[in-house]
Structure 1
């Protein structure tokens, strides 16, 4: 039932004494002192408001009561302002102020209840996820509305183009009416605090539903990378949900509740969302300041991209001076994540330099550090645009890498950095090649690793970054190592096989027999050893075998032919390998375990 003014009166405030002259006149006549119109107004308002304040139910449970209470509040605010402007009756002003304080306390209770328990007040359509920002009715999260829960909770979504309408239009209108009275009465800051406290529960529970838990920097630094990967996998969608849906929805609701009541709406909004926003930001900061092991690059890039892509959308949400600090915090964590990415690349360089040179790849094959670095860089190029952006931010931090590379190479910061890493890898491999006591095996090792590097560069965006000139230089290096192998391994063999030169009639049979014995020894040693070596790339293996055959077969065939045509000795006693045997052995070189 609506509130009836015929309800029993509650005790009223004592009225202040009238002016001295009126009191004297009234006393002489035997009458009580006269009551002014302002005093009568305060007494009437006290009687009306005290009954509302004493109610044991929500005033807004009945719309007629709510309208009557707001009308009384408006009258009281006007009366207080008149008394303050007049400044002639301090006692009456103090009593009106005290009544206004009790009135505001009850408004705070109603305000909080309308936000936290809207179904306890005037019936209102349940809010929900909205794709167009409209006020059409829709179940919150697809259930029976949020009346079954004390606080409606935002559920995880994948479509960020939505708005959470946590309060119905009717509830928003009610709380706006209360907020306007509290601001008019000079209680705007208190109203903002009550609003923030009420909405903070919704925000906290919503973030908790996303599976993100608070983590201190110490906890993050002490966690294993496997644990952190799991946390990051939850953090990224939670970060998007909070900053793309939850916080913008809170801004929209706050703007509607405090429409025309700046700056209190801005204060309320920041206070409502700050804690959870900073919690998410602090996790990004902790990851940025933790270990910069190379394997962390890809997850940190994911975090950086999530924050970077969000920044433009935050401008309208954090446009006021009070929330600008939050916007700056998001920008700062984006920068720290970017710095972490650059630091991870620097750590990759250090990892290559620190890789011990004591262990060589078996059979001169591809070294694990070569496989790791090339596959790592190849995968990193999947985020090339992001890495270009990060490296362009402050490339000078890499310690002079730009000045160390060939000026003909591509000149983007990422390209220069990748080229620098490749130079570090090359120097590391050169050091590792010196572990091999056999210079021939060192050449095979460098050929294998160089060819593998070229393959990985050609098969990815590394080729675009490093450029044709770099690939050409690397190819020339592999060719030079192949030539060094031919000279070191087969140079003495081909020298032994020489049977004469221009103007020379030929060698005596005994000399040819000696050469053949030396060849048999050299060739057997080379074959037994180098058939165990490996050239991983099939085409490179074919090319090296062909070069060996081209150098050995003509002179060996010529020697055998000379020896067979000589009448001085039986050649079959000295020919251990026929030319066909030598050719077959050469074709079995470098097969390693597959032999």
Structure 2
């Protein structure tokens, strides 16, 4: 056993764990699971066989007590380490290693029952202690997950308004990226069953079982808990929108965030856990709503300027001077969009950017072309027609704005090479 160099087992107090750097603690927790397996599957059975063989000439009660003393010293080190992990601070990054430890104990349950049979009261006590450790690890895992959900819920408040710079540029908030990938990992085959078991056990402990036949009682605890975290992310995004001074940036950020949640989960175990239809209704729909609000705030002012309404229906202005003023104001507004839009706002997802680009270019081009046709005589008088930008140039300027809203060449390539299965479409775009 000492060849494994389990020196980390000496640090088992909660204070010692909290004082450790995460990399060191992660390494220790990662070693615990395979070392525990070696101890239970290899070392202790060998010790048991040795005790039986060497002490066979003595009374039958001798070898179990001898083995119990040896086993107690070995497993005590592992159990103390587990106790320290359980009692330490509930940091979200510790959850997956906690689940690995829980899995290690659960996998050895049959061997533990076989090793520590009723031949000795001490052996029975060791077996019961192992079950207690398993339950404690499950409760700790559930507690860490609830802490994770609480931190997502309170992140915006704790951060004093989040990260204004990122929000004002329209970037996906870091907490959204972190939480979605965290949930995706939990929903994977490696952890889904373990996490669900831990949450179910916690419900039993607090007397909130779901076996009462009530509506929704058959839903997995992890599915419900993950849904709550996603709802907390939704509230976080909406809170960030409300305080962002730039309306366009707030819509871009919300659109990017909801689209990120939907596309990252789409087709994954997380989407199957929550429900593909639920993800589509909740987060794709929210992305579509934010996209429409973005287009209304950023591009519909151009449409309204030359047509007098958001519909884009052509309007003949009363006088040539007024028509030419509208054309000049349109050119100035479009130039302002071109100058700052691609610099100030980002839409990193290539598919999303292309869909909105096509919709915005179509709306602006249509309104401008209708304006020129309805006011042809007015803008042509005095040589005004020669001073106006061609319709194709207007559309090209709008499209160029969106080309500059990506995260660079890599993002563009990723968007173009994405498979059909991984692509998504905004309804109505």
Q: What TM-score, normalized to structure 2?
A: 0.81
Please say if residues 499 and 506 of structure 1, whose CA atoms lie closer than 8 Å, have aligned partners that are also in contact: no
Deviation of residue 332 (structure 1)?
Answer: 1.3
Deviation of residue 457 (structure 1)?
Answer: 0.4
Look up the match of 2:324: 513
CA distance in 1, matches of 2:239, 2:105: 42
Look up the match of 2:70: 272
Closer, same or farther: CA 568–238 of 1 in aligned 2, 3 Å: closer
Look up the match of 2:259: 451
Partner deviation per Cα, 1:528-556 (whole Å, 9 max, x = no partner): 22222111111111111111122221120
Aligned runs of 1:408-487 on 2, under 5 Å? Answer: 411-473=219-281, 474-487=283-296
Look up the match of 1:381: 187
Look up the match of 1:363: 169
CA distance in 1, matches of 2:305, 2:20: 66
Please say if residues 531 and 589 of structure 1, whose CA atoms lie closer than 8 Å, have aligned partners that are also in contact: yes
Please say if residues 210 and 234 of structure 1, whose CA atoms lie closer than 8 Å, have aligned partners that are also in contact: no
CA distance in 2, matches of 1:519, 1:481: 24
Q: Does 1:329 align with 2:129?
A: yes
Closer, same or farther: CA 459–295 of 1 in aligned 2, 3 Å: farther
Q: Does 1:354 align with 2:166?
A: no
Deviation of residue 502 (structure 1)?
Answer: 9.5
1:284 to 60, 82, 91: 82
Q: Does 1:215 align with 2:21?
A: no
Closer, same or farther: CA 390–570 of 1 in aligned 2, 3 Å: same
Please say if residues 221 and 286 of structure 1, whose CA atoms lie closer than 8 Å, have aligned partners that are also in contact: no
Partner deviation per Cα, 1:381-426 (whole Å, 9 max, x = no partner): 33222222222222478999x9xxxx88992111111111111111
Look up the match of 1:263: 61
Deviation of residue 516 (structure 1)?
Answer: 1.3
Partner deviation per Cα, 1:222-266 (whole Å, 9 max, x = no partner): 322222223223322221111112222222333443479343332
Deviation of residue 294 (structure 1)?
Answer: 1.6
Deviation of residue 504 (structure 1)?
Answer: 8.2
Closer, same or farther: CA 378–470 of 1 in aligned 2, 3 Å: same
CA distance in 2, matches of 1:263, 1:460: 56
CA distance in 2, matches of 1:346, 1:502: 53
Look up the match of 1:224: 21
1:341 to 127, 135, 141: 141
Structure 2: segments with no counterpart, 5+ residues: 410-429
Larger CA Rg, structure 1 vs 2: 1
CA distance in 2, matches of 1:552, 1:520: 12
Identify which range, 496-505 or 480-489, moves more after superposition.
Answer: 496-505
Instruction: Classify the secondary structure of the residue corresponding to 1:364.
Output: coil
CA distance in 2, matches of 1:363, 1:562: 38
CA distance in 2, matches of 1:522, 1:349: 44
Instruction: Classify the secondary structure of the residue corresponding to 1:536.
Output: coil
The structure richer in helix per residue is 2
Structure 1: segments with no counterpart, 5+ residues: 1-206
Please say if residues 370 and 425 of structure 1, whose CA atoms lie closer than 8 Å, have aligned partners that are also in contact: yes
Partner deviation per Cα, 1:411-454 (whole Å, 9 max, x = no partner): 21111111111111111122122342121211111011111111
Please say if residues 409 and 466 of structure 1, whose CA atoms lie closer than 8 Å, have aligned partners that are also in contact: no
Please say if residues 563 and 571 of structure 1, whose CA atoms lie closer than 8 Å, have aligned partners that are also in contact: no
Q: What TM-score, normalized to structure 1?
A: 0.59
Alignment RMSD (CA, Å): 2.9
Please say if residues 363 and 441 of structure 1, whose CA atoms lie closer than 8 Å, have aligned partners that are also in contact: yes
Look up the match of 2:426: none
Please say if residues 196 and 220 of structure 2, whose CA atoms lie closer than 8 Å, have aligned partners that are also in contact: yes
Please say if residues 251 and 290 of structure 2, whose CA atoms lie closer than 8 Å, have aligned partners that are also in contact: yes
Please say if residues 281 and 333 of structure 1, whose CA atoms lie closer than 8 Å, have aligned partners that are also in contact: yes
CA distance in 2, matches of 1:316, 1:417: 36
Aligned runs of 1:8-157 on 2, under 5 Å? Answer: none
2:30 to 230, 233, 236: 233
Q: Does 1:578 align with 2:390?
A: yes
Larger RCO (alpha carbons 8 Å, 6+ apart): 2
Closer, same or farther: CA 327–483 of 1 in aligned 2, 3 Å: same
Q: Does 1:293 align with 2:293?
A: no
CA distance in 2, matches of 1:444, 1:274: 60
Please say if residues 516 and 574 of structure 1, whose CA atoms lie closer than 8 Å, have aligned partners that are also in contact: no
Look up the match of 1:540: 352
Q: How many residues align?
A: 383
Instruction: Classify the secondary structure of the residue corresponding to 2:299.
Output: helix
Closer, same or farther: CA 438–315 of 1 in aligned 2, 3 Å: same
Look up the match of 1:12: none
Deviation of residue 505 (structure 1)?
Answer: 7.2
Partner deviation per Cα, 1:357-397 (whole Å, 9 max, x = no partner): 24131520222222212222222333222222222222478
Closer, same or farther: CA 504–211 of 1 in aligned 2, 3 Å: closer
Instruction: Classify the secondary structure of the residue corresponding to 1:394.
Output: helix
Identify which range, 412-421 or 284-293, moves more after superposition.
Answer: 284-293
